[in-house]
Amino acid sequence: MAVQQKYSYDLTYQLGILKLMARDPSFLKLHPDVVQPRFFILDTHMQVAQILLGFFKKHAESPSYDSMRKEMGDYFLSFNTRDETKQEIHRVVEQIYREEITNRDAIMQSVCYFAQSSSLRSAMKNVLDLIDQQGPLDEAEILVRKALAVGSRQTESWSFFEKIQGFRDRMIADRAYYPKFKIKTYFPSLDRATHGGIGAGQIWVVAARPKRGKSTLMVNLGASAIYQGKTVVHFSFGDMTKMDVMVKYAQRFSGMTAEQIMQGYDVESFCDKIVQAQPSACLEIIYDSPGVVGVPEMHATLGQLKVIRGINPDLVIVDYANKMKKPVQDNSYLSMSLIYDQLKALADDYECAILTGTQLRRKSGKDGDAGEGDTEEVAESYAQVADCDLMMFIHQTQSDEAQGNKATLNVSVNRRGEAVKVPVVFKKAIALFKETLGR
């Protein structure tokens, strides 16, 4: 087994995996959980894997050599790839299409073993956490079974007319449609469109131009969770320090301005009433400098909170994902795609909801009319749009800006609900977003 694990890290085997991906679509169909860009050592290999997987997702087949060259050209143009990186990617692609696969079975065994052992290590950590907390042992068995199943799953077909019997019960048992819990946003139109709010395992994204209220809206949604007795862990990787985040929440809970709080108004009594009404509510605020912390480090921090202090998050706020450490330094598109894959895994591991923000391109829209809900405006990576469960845009017309406190939350991406426009009042001085009855 030690030899097999060594092969998983061997660059020869990594090239072999790319050859399989380029020539054998059945391998991708049978083992979608083991061929992931993050398993590759070199950035160049990671990017080639991303291009191959992107083509497979669009066409359900592996690209021919000519199709791959065209796909690379589009990739280079879209993401302004450096000349040195282009040359390296060309060299790798030439190699995987020129050379034959001489050790196919060994490569398949190696990559499946590596994915399985990685999943098993993660599962064992969670099992130890369960034992420390004297949790139910049946959950530990489920975690281990899932890890052992990685790399050995077979395609399962459903017979529609058989499965349709008792279909509602099947839907209720599916966590994608009926999450473990939902957190109301207290925006009535948004709660109706999402069938009750943000659910466990989901990723919601707030998109806006700079200084349009992304952080404040996330604080409002965090406050809504607190009002419902939930546990919120708020990570700030942007311009807002711990104190800035504290002030935002204090404003939101009390309805006071920062100046009033500094003048000595009794903000503590407002917060005491919330704790008395919802004793199970918990709010943890964590700050790190931009570009220092990635999702693995954030995962470790949440693990420490869970094991040492018994804090298990219901809602994790990431303000915001674009400011996290990039897995691939010179490729924002690939980095954001990997970050969202990792956030999705974190949401599944902790059975929590994740709320984050993203920038719109600074030159998008005309004057004050950006953010209407066009997903093409999203900066850095369209993967943020493709991978989230919901994306809402903070939109202000020129008329709204003139009046100062009006805006619209345009929900243009809603995986299991309808698109909706939510008219709101944004009172910046007291960090409040509130739905209005009309424009």
**If you search the block for the tokens 């054998």, which residue do you land on?**
24
pLDDT tens-place string over residues 96-122: 888 877 767 777 776 677 667 767 777
Structural domain ending residue among the three candidates 112, 131, 158: 112
Is residue 171 pLDDT above 90, yes or no?
Answer: no
Mean of pLDDT over the chain = 83
Q: What is residue 369's predicted lDDT score, i.e. its pLDDT?
A: 53
Between 43 and 431, the more confident residue is 431
**387, part of any domain:** yes
pLDDT tens-place string over residues 243-257: 999 999 999 999 999
Is residue 64 pLDDT above 60, yes or no?
Answer: yes
User: For position 376, which CATH number holds?
Assistant: 3.40.50.300
Residues 72 and 199 in one domain: no
Tell me, yes or no, if the pTM score tops 0.85. no
Confidence of residue 439 (pLDDT cuts 50, 70, 90): low
Structural domain ending residue among the three candidates 85, 112, 139: 112
**139, part of any domain:** no
**15, part of any domain:** yes
Residues 298 and 417 in one domain: yes
Number of domains in the chain: 2
Confidence of residue 364 (pLDDT cuts 50, 70, 90): very low
Residues 334 and 426 in one domain: yes
Confidence of residue 368 (pLDDT cuts 50, 70, 90): very low
Residues 221 and 106 in one domain: no
Confidence of residue 8 (pLDDT cuts 50, 70, 90): very low
Residues 209 and 321 in one domain: yes
**119, part of any domain:** no
Residue (of 330, 264, 259, 327) closest to 80 by Cα position: 330
**203, part of any domain:** yes
Residues 108 and 187 in one domain: no
User: Is 144 exposed, middle or buried, given 0-12, 13-18 or 19+ CB atoms closer than 10 A?
Assistant: middle
Range of the domain at 204: 182-435
Residues 280 and 401 in one domain: yes
Structural domain ending residue among the three candidates 77, 112, 147: 112
Confidence of residue 239 (pLDDT cuts 50, 70, 90): confident
Q: How far apart are CA 103 and CA 288, in angstroms?
A: 45
Confidence of residue 127 (pLDDT cuts 50, 70, 90): confident
Residues 190 and 49 in one domain: no
Q: What is residue 22's predicted lDDT score, i.e. its pLDDT?
A: 87
Between 131 and 22, the more confident residue is 22
Q: How far apart are CA 221 and CA 197, in angstroms?
A: 10
Between 75 and 120, the more confident residue is 75
**120, part of any domain:** no
**308, part of any domain:** yes
Residues 220 and 369 in one domain: yes
Q: Which amino acid is at 305?
A: L
**352, part of any domain:** yes
Residues 57 and 200 in one domain: no
Residues 188 and 290 in one domain: yes
Residues 281 and 381 in one domain: yes
Between 134 and 282, the more confident residue is 282
CA distances to 170, 236, 281, 306, 316 from 313, rounded to whole Å, are 27, 16, 10, 8, 6
Q: What is residue 302's predicted lDDT score, i.e. its pLDDT?
A: 92
Confidence of residue 290 (pLDDT cuts 50, 70, 90): confident
Q: What is residue 326's predicted lDDT score, i.e. its pLDDT?
A: 85
The sign of the dihedral angle between the CA atoms of 255, 259, 262, 263 is negative
Q: How far apart are CA 60 and CA 32, in angstroms?
A: 12
Residues 6+ apart with CB under 8 A from 169: none
